[in-house]
Amino acid sequence: MEAEGYVSLREFTEADAEALLEWASDPRVVRFQRRDAYTHVDEARRYIIDHVLPFCRTRGTAPSAASLGYLVARAHWGRGVATRAVSAAAEAVFAEWPWLVRLEAIADVENPASQRVLEKAGFTREGVLRRYVVLKGRPSRDVVMFSFVRGDGEVKPAEVATHS
């Protein structure tokens, strides 16, 4: 039986399209995402096949910096799921990519909940970057830049397991 708050990370498969659609179609979840909300499971399936699966298999380059992003279905907000997932992901990538030195993440200036996720996961707030991203073709947004660099100390422990 899983403990309260248990979070595990695994790779996506095509079978996850329906689950992905559940949050990718929710305007509250995708509010600060560049892409428009999905409306049909085929869009979710295409996204997994065309973008997610090839992405996971790209091991050719060894960049010193990488960008972290996350989405959580609305029903699971407010319970620390994102914080645990971010902690787990940061720990995993620094272990799997010895060349990685910097993990960064941005949060909209009007998204304090997401900023708190990153702070609780041990990221450092670096500053506000003005007019940094364009959201869904609307006027550009100011964002807060956060980073976690190798040597920042232990990532906050989480009840977590990662497996591919």
Partner 1 sequence: MDRSQELQAAAARGVEVSLRRFDLADVDAMMVWASDPQVAAVCRWEPYESTEPLVAFIREVVLPHPWFRAICVVGGEEERPVGAVSVTPTADACRAELGYVLARAHWGKGVATAAVKRVVATVFAELEGLERVEALVDVRNAASQRVLEKAGFRREAVLRKYCVLKGQVKDMVMYSFISTDPLVE
Select the residue interacting with partner 1 from 81, 102, 111, 156 (CB under 8 A). Answer: 102
Reference 66, options 162, 147, 153, 151; nearest CA is 147
CA distance 61 to 49: 21
Select the residue interacting with partner 1 from 71, 104, 111, 120 (CB under 8 A). Answer: 104
Stretch that binds partner 1, among 3-11, 86-94, 108-116, 127-135 (CB under 8 A): 127-135
Tell me the three-class secondary structure of 107-133, residue by residue.
EECCCHHHHHHHHHCCCEEEEEEEEEE
Residue 144 C-beta: closest distance to partner 1, Å: 9
Residue 18 C-beta: closest distance to partner 1, Å: 29
Select the residue interacting with partner 1 from 41, 72, 92, 133 (CB under 8 A). Answer: 133
Residue 12 C-beta: closest distance to partner 1, Å: 22
Count of other CB atoms within 10 angstroms of residue 28: 10
Select the residue interacting with partner 1 from 56, 65, 113, 161 (CB under 8 A). Answer: 65
